[in-house]
A and B are shown apart, each in its own frame.
Chain A
Amino acid sequence: MIAARCSDVWMVYNSLFSENKLALRSINLEIEENQIYGLLGPNGAGKTTLISLMATLLTPARGEIEILGMDAKKHVKKIREKINITSGNPNLIWSLTPRENLRYYAFTYGINDKRIIDELIEFFELEEHQNVEFNRLSTGNKQKVTLARAFVNNPLLVFLDEPTKGLDPDIARRLRKKILDLQREKDITIVLTTHYMAEAEFLCDRIAFINDGEIVAEGDQNKLKNMLKMKDRIIIDAEGEIPLLDIDGIHYREKKGQRYTFFVDNSEQRLSDIVKEVSKFVKIKNIIVKEADLEDVFTELSK
């Protein structure tokens, strides 16, 4: 099934005091269920806007949005019962404790179930902090509670807007793992935005790149790399001249001083051939192998 579908969606922010802002133009998107779908793109690209539209917080200027098979214009309440959203700025009611916050938000979904809250507190390792006022928590714990909140209604579709923003690498990694565990365990669909390419690589089954309000590329990670002809790189520092090599899989090479960079189709497959061949001519001082990553894709697409 399709968890979310956008057809020719446009969004304009109207303002009384300043110019209207066209934030999204003709977005077409299909997100299959039971996967983690990433929305990537530079600041101001329109990721939060797109997520807010799908989460029924905004209504589009034009176009149709379908969430879990329901028309987002007609079935707002039904959709809201089955989805949830969270944002990277960890803000919940300041003077309420994590437990009280979770209880309050569960109530807003018509749910009064202590078990769900106990489970979330345990899952996000918040036992120690569950009775401390929210504004006294560390950023990491705030982020955990905010993330936990998005699951109080057992949603089928969750939107996570930069869920690990501003966290130290260790906590960020642990939260990523939790997100993955939750998704696998509960078979839900997650739509996530992030500026951390490692996060997208680790979590996302599919990715859409947004730039300046438009989707510029879409697909799984390999497809994106191939589409942009992103190459793996084998970088060799050598003493002496390396002549042109006749090896399959080398697309081209670059030379800067003593450093040679070979752009290849697959570094794992070609490494030994290249090393064998090169060492016939020169002494190798250092080898670096770099697989093409999302960072390259990102840089390319944000241009």
Chain B
Amino acid sequence: MSLPNFRSEFYRTIAFSYRNFIITRRNFFTIFETLFWPLISLLSVGLMGSYLDLTEELLAFILIGAVSLSIMQLAQLDVTYVLLFDIWSKSIKYTLVSPASFFNMVAGSWMVGVLRGFLAFMILAISGNLLFGLNLMQLPLYGLILFLMGLFINAMLIGMSTCILLLLFGYRAEVAAWTLTAIIMLLCGIYYPVTVLPPEVRVVSYIIPATHFLEFFRSFYGFHPSMDYSLILGYGLNVLYLIIGSFIYIQAMKRARKTGTVLQFSE
């Protein structure tokens, strides 16, 4: 790619970071999303753990779950909203008629999500430590970064799925984002090891990347992963879904341009 081309690609991606960043900053409820809910969840789970008199390891186990769920939910928001902002404003035409691609859109908005997710992680790490003596930095730095990145990419996939559903079914598909996180929460072992699930259900757990990242993270807290190569599996699945997701988006877009649904969101 030549330099001018690279520069254009860069700005096309930054476009979506810029827009998400401004909208996020201007919206009061962002504070709730980024601070309030993650803290509430940490507190309620932590307090429940203290009440049940859990061992230090078990408390760490469920707190890690609570933290991971919070930051994944946060990081997914920006990608989920990237098309919704346009749909709400009835201006999707203008984003779609530009040369910006789905890649630009997802990557740009995701970066804001990562920033928010990381911010929330830091806040939760500090409060978890102060309130419940939880040490989220117990693993080497590279491990922590790989864990967070893995979760953030999984979050990006959730956002991408919503975008695809929006394109196929219109703005009603917004609920998809919440449904998907709820299903993931149930299946990837946020508050319990996936081994407690019936074997048939567990199969589904194993095809969710987040399952493996959680097992990887918890392995530093004395819990042996139920499958080997957690990181490789997690990232492998992430990449696989990224490819499948992009392919489906391109097909959905082709269809929307042929059938005219593209215009229905605009006016």
Q: Interface residues, chain A, CB within 8 Å of chain B?
A: 11, 13-15, 23, 48-49, 52, 55-59, 61, 77, 80-81, 83-87, 89, 91-96, 100, 103-105, 107-112, 149, 153
Contacts and interface: CB of A to CB of B under 8 A. Distances in A.
Given A14-B260, A57-B263, A59-B258, A93 B19 contact: yes
A98 to B, nearest CB: 13
A105 to B, nearest CB: 6
A161 to B, nearest CB: 10
A110 B5 CA distance: 9
Given A87-B93, A92-B94, A80 B11 contact: no
6 contacts: A58-B257, A93-B85, A103-B18, A108-B98, A108-B99, A109-B98
B91 interface: yes
B224 interface: no
A112 B10 CA distance: 10
A16 to B, nearest CB: 9
B97 A80 contact: yes
B174 interface: no
Interface stretch (B21-29, B70-78, B128-136, B226-234): B21-29
B90 A89 contact: yes
Contacts of B179: none
B96 A57 contact: yes
A95 B94 contact: no
Contacts of B11: 107, 110-112
B99 A80 contact: yes
Contact of B94 (A13, A59, A149): A149
A64 B133 CA distance: 68
B5 to A, nearest CB: 9
Interface string B98-119: 1111001000000000000000
A153 B12 CA distance: 12
B95 A87 contact: no
A44 to B, nearest CB: 14
Given A57-B96, A58-B260, A80-B97, 15 more contacts: A11-B260, A61-B258, A85-B94, A86-B94, A87-B93, A89-B267, A91-B267, A93-B85, A105-B98, A107-B18, A108-B99, A109-B8, A109-B100, A110-B99, A111-B8
B22 A110 contact: no
Interface in B61-92: 85-86, 88-91
Interface string B190-224: 00000000000000000000000000000000000
A86 B97 CA distance: 10
A93 B258 contact: no
Q: What is the predominant secondary structure among interface residues of chain B facing chain A?
A: helix
Contact of B97 (A55, A92, A96): A55
B14 interface: yes
A61 B15 CA distance: 32
Given A80-B99, A108-B100, A110-B7, A91 B263 contact: no
B259 A87 contact: no
Contacts of B98: 80, 105, 108-109, 153
Given A14-B259, A107-B11, A96 B22 contact: yes
B266 interface: yes
Contacts of A109: 8, 12, 98-100
Interface in B3-46: 7-12, 14-15, 18-19, 22-23, 26-27
**Most A CB atoms within 10 A — which of B14, B97, B258?**
B97
Nearest to B91: A91
A79 to B, nearest CB: 9
Closest 7 CB pairs of A and B: A110-B8, A107-B15, A108-B98, A14-B259, A13-B260, A91-B90, A108-B100
Nearest to B23: A95
Nearest to B9: A110
**Most A CB atoms within 10 A — which of B11, B22, B93, B98?**
B98
B262 interface: yes
Given A57-B263, A58-B262, A93-B23, A108 B95 contact: yes
B99 A77 contact: yes
B89 A92 contact: yes
Nearest to A60: B258
Nearest to A21: B260
Contacts of B262: 52, 57-58
A21 to B, nearest CB: 8
B97 A57 contact: yes
